[in-house]
Amino acid sequence: MTPLAPAHTRGPVRVVGTGLLGASIGLGLRSLGVDVVLHDASPTALAMARDVGAGRLPEDGDDTLSLVVVAAPPDVTADLVVAELSAHPDAVVTDVASVKASVLRQVRDAVRDHAVLARYVGGHPMAGRERSGAVAARADLFAGRPWVLAPGPGVTAQAMAAVRDLATDLGAVPLTMSPEAHDEAVARVSHVPQVLASLVAARLLDSPDDAVALAGQGLRDVTRIAASDPSLWVQILGGNAGPVAEVLAALRDDLDAVLGALRSLAADGGAAGARATVARAIQAGNEGQARIPGKHGAPPTRYEVVTVLVPDRPGELGRLFTEMGEIGVNLEDLRLEHSPGQPVGLAEVSVVPGARALLEDELVKRGWTIAG
């Protein structure tokens, strides 16, 4: 990303842990000209991060650091934060772990001095990739993503500003929340969806092949994140066990209500209210889903979908979108759907409602087939 303004972050910045997130932070800061000093317990990982350009190795004089970023797995984050606070008595220390209250609690258990604790600001950039390690790092990993700042009590304004500047310099959108509010939020928007995606996908394990062959885009969407790394998720779910358990328990109560209603319907056509119980669950899902922000964090919009048959050859989608550009209709969202035994794909193109008729007419004129 081309910087629009000079960096506010002053170097050298020490990055502890040079996996995907740490190396991406290093790359992003380096692209702004900020000096970055790398550290990793693994010499191999450290050398890799240096080689991809995420920063340099430590030298004499690095004790003048003003910012340390701990970018390690959740289960070692607190220990590293404590060590860095002690080793760099003038530096602001932050981390990027996806759970915040348990890390802060461990840090506060180990560090009793309020003046030291005032230099630690927990953080959580809401970014990731399907690949890991410095080799997958990107200077733009955080572009446009929320970056939560979750300070404990007594944090200095200067420490907050340093971490906010880091997020902004890397193109992220800083948001401040308490560690508890953060953990409760990610339980709902990330951790519980992960658990349920995994549980739904696990139901396919003992399905016959011809049952799985009926899978459509709905199932693919619900289970996409079920491909996530078990060892990482054990750490995340373990580190946020209380809030995740609370949301899961509420979901389980809803599930039991639906299950009871369906059993009643299966046994004798349904006790009074069984259908209403099922309808209420689907209706509540409608209302919850409608709260999810749409494009660019704007309020959710109902787009209309135009489905176009696209031959399965390089360049055909390019032609489609080039012609959409010529027609002057902006693509709001896109989904590709594939079905067994067909040499075409279906491109489901979301557009603002007023543009649908125009787009369909113009695409048909240009020889495209509009499908259902």
Q: For the segment 166-195, give every residue that binds its own copies (CB under 8 A).
A: 171, 173, 175, 177, 181, 184-186, 188-190, 192-195
Closer residue to its own copies in complex, CB, 30/119: 30
Length of the chain: 372
366 scored as a contact of its own copies (CB under 8 A): no
Closer residue to its own copies in complex, CB, 43/315: 315
Q: Report d(CA 285, CA 258) in Å as an integer.
A: 13
Helix (H) or strand (E) holding 284: helix 274-289
Hey, which residues between 284 and 313 contact its own copies (CB under 8 A)?
284-297, 304-305, 307, 309, 312-313
- Closest Cα to residue 365, out of 326, 312, 313, 311? 326
β-strand pairing of 120-125 with 146-151 = antiparallel
The distance of closest approach from Cβ of residue 80 to its own copies in the complex, given in angstroms and rounded to an integer, is 19
With CB under 8 A as the rule, give the number of residues binding its own copies.
Answer: 152
Contact assessment for residue 349 and residue 334, using Cβ atoms and an 8 Å cutoff? yes
Q: Report d(CA 141, CA 25) in Å as an integer.
A: 8
Please identify which residue in 41, 215, 357, 364 interacts with its own copies, judged by CB under 8 A.
Answer: 215
Closer residue to its own copies in complex, CB, 6/144: 144
Hey, which residues between 69 and 128 contact its own copies (CB under 8 A)?
126-127
Hey, which residues between 238 and 267 contact its own copies (CB under 8 A)?
238, 241-242, 244-245, 247-252, 254-256, 258-259, 262-263, 265-266
Q: Report d(CA 331, CA 349) in Å as an integer.
A: 7
Hey, which residues between 13 and 52 contact its own copies (CB under 8 A)?
20, 24
Looking up tokens 């000209």, which residue turns up? Answer: 33
The distance of closest approach from Cβ of residue 66 to its own copies in the complex, given in angstroms and rounded to an integer, is 25
Task: Give the per-residue contact string, 127-166, with its own copies (x = CB under 8 A; - = no).
Answer: x-xxx----xxxxxxxxxxx-x------------------
Burial class (CB in 10 A: 0-12, 13-18, 19+), 331: middle
The distance of closest approach from Cβ of residue 222 to its own copies in the complex, given in angstroms and rounded to an integer, is 4
Please identify which residue in 233, 271, 352, 362 interacts with its own copies, judged by CB under 8 A.
Answer: 233
How far is residue 47 CA from its own chain's centroid?
A: 27
Closer residue to its own copies in complex, CB, 114/220: 220
Q: Which residues pair with residue 344 across a beta bridge? A: 311
Closer residue to its own copies in complex, CB, 115/200: 200
- Give the amino acid at 162: A
Looking up tokens 């979108």, which residue turns up? Answer: 321
Please identify which residue in 8, 56, 108, 319 interacts with its own copies, judged by CB under 8 A.
Answer: 319
**CA distances (Å), origin 134, targets 71, 73, 83, 331:** 12, 14, 23, 33
